[in-house]
Amino acid sequence: MKNKKHLAIIDTPFNVDYSNGNISGKSVINPIKKIKDLQNIFEDKQAFKNIDGDKIIYEVQAILPVEEGREGGLFYGKTIIHPGKVGNEYFMTKGHFHQKVDRAEFYWGIEGEGMLLLMDKNRNTWAEKMHPGSLHYINGYIAHRTVNTGTTKLSFGACWPSDAGHNYQEIMDNGFSARLKEIDGKPQLVSTQQ
């Protein structure tokens, strides 16, 4: 048996702690968004100015095993949104459509409570409750943003196509057609349409 091949056994390059969603591995990226990175997201400009610009609003852990834009790959991540408000709006992510607008994505709740804000291309907006174990399918052509409505951190996982890209500019320019605000101690979806 001169030509016998030996198969390799290798360690996995990434690990996930399913009790809290933490991702580890040498190529995990960890971007952080501070309040100063979220200009024009919150409605109350004075309340925004009164918050220390270095306050961390949300953190991301992500695995990008292929180059961004490559068709056929998948990315995997976890986001943590800290509790708090700017005026009567809860801390939230920037929100985005995908650059390739037909690309879908999965989110799932890990810790805390919040809302997944969704908006279609006709600017119809709705929200889904997020909690540990909730699973959210975000279809293509849908903008999405996550909001921490609780008093502890909200963390959720995500899996999306490596060629989806992120179109943040559309939301920066036009926002969502509704805002999630605390009214009478509860989260309420309030239309921004005149």
For residue 7, the model assigns a pLDDT of 80
Q: Are 176 and 145 in contact (CB under 8 A)?
A: yes
pLDDT tens digits, 76-131:
999 999 999 999 999 999 999 999 999 999 999 999 999 999 999 999 999 999 99
Domain contains 143: yes
Domain contains 8: no
pTM of the shown model: 0.92
Mean of pLDDT over the chain: 94
Domain contains 7: no
pLDDT tens digits, 15-43:
999 899 999 988 899 999 999 999 999 99
Look at the block and give the residue holding tokens 């920066």. 172
For residue 127, the model assigns a pLDDT of 98
Domain contains 4: no
Query: Would you give the DSSP letter of residue 37?
Result: G
Domain contains 3: no
Helix (H) / strand (E) containing 171? helix 169-174
CATH number at residue 98: 2.60.120.10
The parent domain of residue 107 ranges over 15-191
pLDDT more than 90, % of the chain = 89
Domain contains 10: no
Residue 121 is encoded by which pair of tokens? 């291309």
Residues belonging to the chain: 194
Helix (H) / strand (E) containing 49? helix 45-49
State how many domains the chain has. 1
Residue type for 193, please?
Answer: Q
Domain contains 101: yes
